[in-house]
Structure 1
Amino acid sequence: LITQQSPSNSHFSPLIGMTHNTSASLFQRGSQSSPGVEEVAETGSTNVIKSEIGDIQNLGNSQSLIEGGGLPNGQSQLELTFDIDEDFPLVSIITMVAPSPDWFVGVDSLNLYQNGTWVDQVQVDLKVYDSGTDSGVTFGSANSDSSPKMNIELLTSNISDADFVDGIHRTTGAYIGTFTFKRQ
């Protein structure tokens, strides 16, 4: 992770996501987290969100489940492959920023089929989101469920801890990472 204040055990949880059409989404800024997004953001577990993606697939709005490993501290890259087609041209993926109260990074509804052709490559700079489900304000905050739950928003945190404003590192202006999507 990019902050000097990051804990020595900082990492990203396993990636989870889906390919889908415009009738579905995994998360949306300004909306409340689903129980699955809450679980990923708070614990890194993907059990509930897999079930939610399964429900979306059963409704005919998602084709592929996307799963990848986590990114342990010191590892800078992870690669995974997934299938996508014109009926389900959007991709959504999330992963927990760990440790954290309820912070995650991800892309929602990235369109990889534009103007009648597949995008060969696109890089997405990752901003950090606060899922709105835990009131903790530092990397190491104890569990403190938000009541009522808040909407998903870009993370703004204490300068003395994570030092983020609108999901970007306040001091350096750096993003926490990138997702690069390449056509094979």
Structure 2
Amino acid sequence: MWVAGGQSTPGMKSMAEFGGQSTLNNEMRAQRSNVLDTLSFTVIYAGTGTRKGSLDVDGSHSLVSLVSMVAPSPDWFVGVHDLDLCNGATWTQSMTVDLFPYDAGTDSGLKFASANSATNPRSRSIV
């Protein structure tokens, strides 16, 4: 899905800049041999709230990656990459993960409300 320091795919660009999910979901579906399941949520407009869902994992697919747009922003997001839900032979029952902001490298805006200014060529995602 994404990796810190990697170049954003069209799906990551759409998610980071506009909150779009369809292109990123299609990219995940195209990787079906590596991706067991996907999960998407609707927007939380008030800035705070909760969403609940479930995700299938198994012994061959114990890593989870997730992303969420930071809005408003040019192309910032939070997420984790390859978070392992299995500690050796034991499934993790509960965990808390601090999420850090990343710049997707697709828009050159410097402030939350910057106008759209495409980064050309795209840069690598950075913290």
Moved more, 62-71 or 40-49: 62-71
Would you say the 8 A contact 2:64–2:83 is kept in 1? Answer: yes
> How far did residue 69 of structure 1 move?
2.3
**Residue 135 (1) aligns with residue 108 (2):** yes
Identify, as 1 or 2, the structure richer in strand.
1
What TM-score, normalized by structure 1, do the two folds share?
0.66
Query: Which residue type is aligned with residue 54 of structure 2?
Result: T
Secondary structure of 1:129's aligned partner: strand
The number of residue pairs the alignment matches comes to 127
Moved over 6 A (4+): none
SS at match of 1:64: coil
Unmatched 5+ stretches in structure 2 = none
Q: TM-score, normalised by structure 2?
A: 0.95
Given the alignment of the two structures, is residue 90 of structure 1 paired with residue 93 of structure 2, yes or no?
no
For the residues of structure 2 that align with 1:85 and 1:149, how far apart are their CA atoms? 35
Contact kept in structure 2, 1:132 and 1:151, CA below 8 Å = yes
Pair member with larger Rg: 1
Q: Percent same amino acid at aligned positions?
A: 38
Of 81, 86, 106 in structure 1, the residue corresponding to residue 79 of structure 2 is 106
Q: Contact 2:21 / 2:40 at 8 angstroms: preserved in 1?
A: no
* Contact 1:66 1:93 survives alignment (8 Å): no
Aligned residue runs from structure 1 range 36-51, under 5 A: 36-51=11-26
Structure 1 residue 134: deviation in Å?
A: 0.3
